[in-house]
Amino acid sequence: MSRKLKKDAEKIALALGCMYNHGMSSEPLASPTTIERTNPRLPWLAALAAVLVVGTWLWNTPPGLLGKADAVGYAICHRISLRSFHLGERTLPLCARCTGIYAGLVLGVVTMALAGRSRAGALPPTRIIVLLIGFIALMGVDGVNSYLRLFPGLPTLYEPQNWLRLATGTLNGLAMAGLVYPVFNQTMWKNWENKPAIGSFREVAFLLGLGALLVAIVLTENPMVLYPLALISAAGVVALLTALDTIILLIAGRRESRALTWREAALPLLIGFTLAILQIGLIDAVRFAVFRSWDGFVFPG
């Protein structure tokens, strides 16, 4: 065999060996020149942006943990005193309905994660989705009925109550957890699991039981409960905005379903968090410029 033929045979054997080793893989073979790399300056730029945005927001919002929670609520909630629960004489950062929404959201996500669904990326079965949408619609009906009370003389279906606002808000928060959580998992993780975050009516019933317990605890209006709940519900606002901004960022950048570890997820989450605080800060600035106060709107109950 000539030297040239021998070299050609070796090349063919090497190629066949590579095909054999990767034959069961759905991913194309990558050479060092085709492997995608993140710009090494991007994490530093993202960290700098986060420090500037978060630092500016912290500096210009009311002092203390509750003050920062108030500033979060100020961006997304009317914070009407008569429609809110109180920590002593202090209005909670979010109204009764928003407290239920975001505390229920956190409750749902934490429960699903602890139940082994931390990377569940499939939507619930259709019958469960219909039920969850029903929860959201129920809050919508109660919200419209409550809104009509802002206009004296307009009829309402029933007398609005803070416990109803809290209960329907909690249902909405649990529903949002069941719908947004799997979308986030599927968008973020390469190894997301093809199973629903909520898979059966039994699991829905369990979440409803936890939600009822949450409502009952809030209605005690015990300061030992309301203080951490105020912080948790405000954190729920930031968490939801961060998740939504991260989903949009990954899809827009065509980088969905790539992370394998939390370390790999850190950069998109940091950017999503920065965008969330930026949104909150911009709305805070506009509202404060108009009303010159961190208090809620003043309307009849």
Q: What is the tens place of the pLDDT at every residue in 75-114?
A: 999 999 999 999 988 999 999 999 999 999 999 999 999 9
Looking at the DSSP assignment, which residues form a beta bridge with residue 123?
Answer: none
Residue 2, C-beta contacts closer than 8 angstroms, at least 6 positions apart: none
Pairing of strands 90-91, 86-87: antiparallel
Question: Can you list the residues of the chain whose pLDDT is less than 50?
Answer: 1-2, 4-9, 11-36, 301
The verdict on residue 156 lying in a domain is: yes
Secondary structure, 3-state, the chain: CCHHHHHHHHHHHHHHHHHHHCCCCCCCCCCCCCCCCCCCCHHHHHHHHHHHHHHHHHHCCCCHHHHHHHHHHHHHCCCCHHHCCEECCEECCCCHHHHHHHHHHHHHHHHHHHHHHCCEEECCCHHHHHHHHHHHHHHHHHHHHHHHCCCCCCCCCCCCCHHHHHHHHHHHHHHHHHHHHHHHHHHHECCCEEEECCCCHHHHHHHHHHHHHHHHHHHCCCHHHHHHHHHHHHHHHHHHHHHHHHHHHHHHCCCCCCECCHHHHHHHHHHHHHHHHHHHHHHHHHHHHHHCCCCCCCCCC
The verdict on residue 154 lying in a domain is: yes
Backbone region of residue 283 per phi and psi (left: phi > 0; alpha: psi in -120 to 50; beta: other values): alpha
Query: What are the structure tokens assigned to 159, written together?
Result: 């007398």
The verdict on residue 236 lying in a domain is: yes
CA 126 from centre of chain: 22
Q: Which pTM does this prediction carry?
A: 0.85
The verdict on residue 38 lying in a domain is: no
Looking at the 3D structure of the chain, how many domains does it have?
Answer: 1
The verdict on residue 100 lying in a domain is: yes
The verdict on residue 155 lying in a domain is: yes
The verdict on residue 24 lying in a domain is: no
How many angstroms separate the CA atoms of 297 and 39, rounded?
46
Query: What are the structure tokens assigned to 100, written together?
Result: 């239920």
What is the predicted pLDDT for the residue at 39?
77
Q: Which domain holds residue 123?
A: 96-291
What is the predicted pLDDT for the residue at 37?
59
The verdict on residue 270 lying in a domain is: yes
What is the predicted pLDDT for the residue at 191?
95
